[in-house]
Copies of this chain bind each other. A is one copy, B any other.
């Protein structure tokens, strides 16, 4: 393979960057170990180590020599697209790292750590007043963060960009307009028609962990997940994916002991994330352009495997024999039962329990409130009522408790404002990618039925994965499929699937 980094300044940058990369690698291992293995009381020493390494990495990134090299590279005209990717990613990291004064970073860190504790208590006791003052503080920090970062149109843009490079409020607005106008009526129709179930007896069936471990391993093997050579599957409280590089990518799942589709679909979801990292161009190893470019694009990969493949008839039929072999209760159910069970649509209070269709309205609600928080004079005390009204308007149900309403998510307590929209971006893009992949692989469904995933993986590698972070998300998409994000595809997919 040709050497992609030719320019001397870029080579100097990459030589210095290795150290930052190494700290990132270590941070990932520390984080993974914390979730998967760490004995409980190890937390104090682990947190201190993580904190020290963060500061160290921050200092290396902002070291004058390093910054000067990046500045110099920004002025170079003869860089190839790989090299320009390096410069863009580092320049962006430096800009963000420099945006916040150290006192502000400390304030955020202290506030969110206390707010998280307050949120836990508030949620447990269903008492919003315990979290309210913290939420006010977090709103004010978010506003300040937006000012530090700067924006062209409105403050919320600055926060969106943190999670999804180049994303603007108006992009999000546009996508939710389509969903409100076209998906909402579809949802109503689905619920009215009643062909798609609102609940299913399979939700209540209990399983032993080993049964589903075998099923998950079987599925991952069919997907060609390189367990033991370049990948692992472990167990953690909340499933996640982490990459220690291109050749060591780890996913986790969980086993609740009932409602077995959850462990399957979360394993399949994390596989989608992992595949994005595993299919990077190896020449990018140790550089800042190795790895998925943004949360939204990443989520499009996980949702593609979870929703488009994992909830398809063909996939259900593919795994049915293995389910039957491992789950004794399965003899009472047909593949059609499992398919319906995988595709329940039911308005629910809790986002993480939501189905593919209603999920997006949970995000729409959060987007509306976040935008108001950052751009208007809104107080935390007004939010629960707004939350409940919006929930009623969108899904026709009204939370009776804070814990099933505004207190359900940890994100705001963590100070993550502007993060939620990436979930819907992922969902929408997964459907958009599906209709494009169908153009190149018309027998997509037959391939899934026969567990021939290689052409699908190759398509994703060629169009998305191999480019790492070279291009910003919007540009990557344009290069991959020749168009911008378009919510209409998802609406079409829902219509074709559920009606």
Contacts and interface: CB of A to CB of B under 8 A. Distances in A.
Contacts of A232: 37, 39
Nearest to A28: B49
A285 interface: yes
Nearest to A232: B39
B33 A48 contact: no
Interface in A223-248: 226-232, 244-248
Interface string A39-69: 1111011101111110110000000000000
Given A29-B26, A53-B22, A42 B248 contact: yes
A5 interface: no
A18 interface: yes
Contact of A26 (B19, B26, B231): B26
B246 A39 contact: no
A449 interface: no
Contacts of A247: 39, 41-42, 44-45
Interface SS, A side: helix
B226 A52 contact: no
Contacts of A27: 26
A45 B245 contact: yes
A448 B98 CA distance: 61
A40 B286 contact: no
Nearest to A282: B44
A48 B286 contact: yes
Given A26-B30, A29-B30, A46 B228 contact: no
B227 A39 contact: yes
Ranked nearest first, the 7 interchain pairs of A and B with the lowest CB-CB distance are: A42-B248, A45-B245, A22-B52, A26-B26, A25-B49, A22-B49, A41-B247
Interface of A: 18-19, 21-23, 25-27, 29-30, 33, 37-42, 44-46, 48-53, 55-56, 226-232, 244-248, 285-286
16 contacts: A19-B56, A22-B48, A22-B53, A23-B26, A26-B26, A26-B30, A26-B49, A38-B248, A39-B227, A39-B231, A39-B232, A39-B248, A45-B247, A45-B248, A45-B285, A46-B248
